[in-house]
Structure 1
Amino acid sequence: MELKNPLVTVIVPNYNHEKYLEQRLESIFNQTYSNFEVILMDDCSTDNSLLVLNKYKEHIKVTSCVFNKVNTGNTFEQWVKGIKIAKGELIWIAETDDYCDIYFLEKLVKPFQKDSQVVLAYCQSNRVNEKGVVTGSWITQTDDLDKSLFLNDFIIDSNEFIEKYLIYRNVIPNASAVVFRREDVDINKHFDIGREFRYCGDWMFYFKLIVNKKVAFISDSLNNFRYHQTSVIAKAIQAENRITFMNIEYKLRFVLMHYLEKIKISNYDKIKERNNFIKRNFIIYEKALLLIQSGKKLKGYLMMLTVYDVYLNRHNVKKRILKKIKKVFT
């Protein structure tokens, strides 16, 4: 159904972002759209985050505080906790190292008011460094897929969005830029992969959430996606983890294709034809083995090899590859 003046639940999952917290929270509480509640969360931070959070816990917009005594080590566990207690029709996961424009909610809520089929809306993001200086835009994330589409606002059929963009990479690079409908979230079905993949669970969640619905995009850069040494994405692309991260994404592509086949959307065959790279990218696996043989980063590559288990079993090539691995590590 179309939403007239929906309540938005803002979930704020924090871990050790003391120095960014105040800017993040002020950017939330100063929104021009006023119908929202805030859930403050902390995953047992070891810095002074709780001192900052406690200053805001009595704010009129704060309806819940969930401060863990034991660290879960997985931000998606925090998402799930927040969604379960959310009262709003819409959900915004406002990550604590990011911040936003005061018009963020006002503009992101509008697509839901216009079209009852919109299940997720997101905006363009600025690239921001540790000091809060804007260094660019995340439009570069989509330049090679479509140079013109993301320059303007749009509402698109979700299956087309998957086929042309989301199947190739996560074109929604930051959760802080996203608002989605709570009633369409199935905790049990949508977060099974999110728990497994610490770096790419958001991609899988979006994929499952939007199938057979609509996605809205706001081209204004209303979100500031901060890049710093301790951010999730920074950790993922450090030299020793880069190949692991790339191949987790590779396995996810395989899972996405399997999910498309299962739900039998009308354009599955077309998507499958355009994504035969799943088989071609198996070459990456072979190259990793060669790198291991040359003595480079054995531990990191050994971690990477484990992500292929599903693929190997499905294509009956596990025995051949395991034989190669045995030669490398014995």
Structure 2
Amino acid sequence: MPTSLADNLPPAIAVPLVTVIIPNYNHARYLPRRIESVLSQTVSDMEVLILDDCSPDQSRTVIEGYARQDARIRTIYNEQNSGSTFKQWNKGLALARGKYVWIAESDDYAAPTLLATLLARLEANPALGLAYCDSWIVDEKDKQLGTYEYLPGEPADERWQTDFEENGLTTIREYLSYRNVIPNASAAVLRRRVLEQVGPADVSLRLMGDWLFWGKVLAVSDMAFVAQPLNYFRKHSNNVRSASLLNGVALLEETHLLRAMLGYGAPNPLLLEKKITFILRNWYLSWAYNDVPADRYRQMRHNMQVVVPGFQGRFARELGKFLVSNRLGGLRQLIGDGLIYPWLKRKRA
């Protein structure tokens, strides 16, 4: 276990106000801006835990350069890749000593006032377990692509145009069963007392462990949103997500998340229906285009049977609609692309 930062710091700052966790894998290109945006925050009472998950690039060289310059930085290196962002989250959370925690993803960055703005909300209201701000979406070259859309196409999306505070269970029931409305950990600051209460992130999910984690936090605390975009959320090509779409992992996690969120109470019925329709349509498309193991379909069916009474009948009815949609385009997709093309492909092989 790494030695405590308190062993090397003066007593006045031995217990920091904020623990900043920077989990990194292979982001040497983005680390300087990430680390500098943390160290330049107007709130300086912090410890910074930089975790590197055995990166093959020059990440450790970059990290060591900053660690030599600032005593607030503590480094934690894996000698073998963990294979999970959320395992790194949990390692950082177990080491955190601050009253508050900021998981600052290694490819994002922040305005200097992000911490001060969100901490002001948390300090003013002890019932808040989480406060987060709006985000600029940026590409790999830092070009701003606009701010995040929380519920695109829905009237409720307007809620995120102004600051608000809300009961956590209300947030889950109204929105989280449909969409992850806390899309980027870098935009959020959390109360460590609440994190200790809810326990670690679920490492069984490859893509959506953050979504599930927010549900656990909001089930026992309230949340605050600041409409000012103080976070810079980087969007770039994601081969892991693309592969997960093709092999059914992403769709399976969607069904897992829906089942988990419904465990917190009856959700917004209109958004629930849209979510079920979304899952079913993508289920049928995955038959046509993706190579999904049969066991994943069985797990998906089990999750949906818990969520939807009479799921088998609903599944058949929606499949019928899909097959005759777009002038039988669905039928052509399923038979042509889903059955005939894979059979021809196997024959050629």
TM-score, L = length of structure 1:
0.80
Structure 2 residue aligned with 1:56: 66
Structure 1 residue aligned with 2:191: 181
Structure 1 residue aligned with 2:215: 207
Asked if 1:255 is matched to 2:260, the reply is yes
Structure 2 residue aligned with 1:191: 200
For residues 223 and 115 of structure 1, what CA distance do their matches in structure 2 show?
Answer: 22
Structure 1 residue aligned with 2:119: 109
- Taking every aligned residue pair, what percent have the same amino acid on both sides? 30
Decide whether the 8 Å contact of 1:124 with 1:139 is kept in 2. no
Structure 2 residue aligned with 1:227: 235
Residues 2-151 of structure 1: pairs in structure 2 closer than 5 A: 7-139=17-149, 141-142=151-152, 144-151=154-161
Decide whether the 8 Å contact of 1:126 with 1:138 is kept in 2. yes
Q: CA deviation at 1:212?
A: 4.0
Structure 2 residue aligned with 1:297: 290
Q: CA deviation at 1:273?
A: 8.8
Gaps of 5+ in 1: 261-267, 322-327
- State which of 279, 283, 288 in structure 1 corresponds to 2:280: 283
CA RMSD, 1 decimal: 3.1
Q: CA deviation at 1:210?
A: 1.4
SS of aligned partner of 2:149: helix
Bigger CA radius of gyration: 2
Decide whether the 8 Å contact of 1:13 with 1:96 is kept in 2. yes
Gaps of 5+ in 2: 1-14, 316-338, 344-349
Please tell me the residue identity of whatever aligns with 2:250.
F
Q: CA deviation at 1:113?
A: 1.3
Please tell me the residue identity of whatever aligns with 2:254.
E
Number of matched pairs: 300
Structure 1 residue aligned with 2:336: none
SS of aligned partner of 1:275: helix
Q: CA deviation at 1:213?
A: 2.0
Q: CA deviation at 1:152?
A: 1.0
Deviations 1:203-259 (A, max 9, x none): 0001011114210001011000111124xxx6425695396424422321112213x
Q: CA deviation at 1:26?
A: 0.6
Cα gap change, 1:215/1:257 in structure 2, threshold over 3 Å: closer, same or farther? same
For residues 256 and 125 of structure 1, what CA distance do their matches in structure 2 show?
Answer: 24
TM-score, L = length of structure 2:
0.76
Asked if 1:311 is matched to 2:278, the reply is no
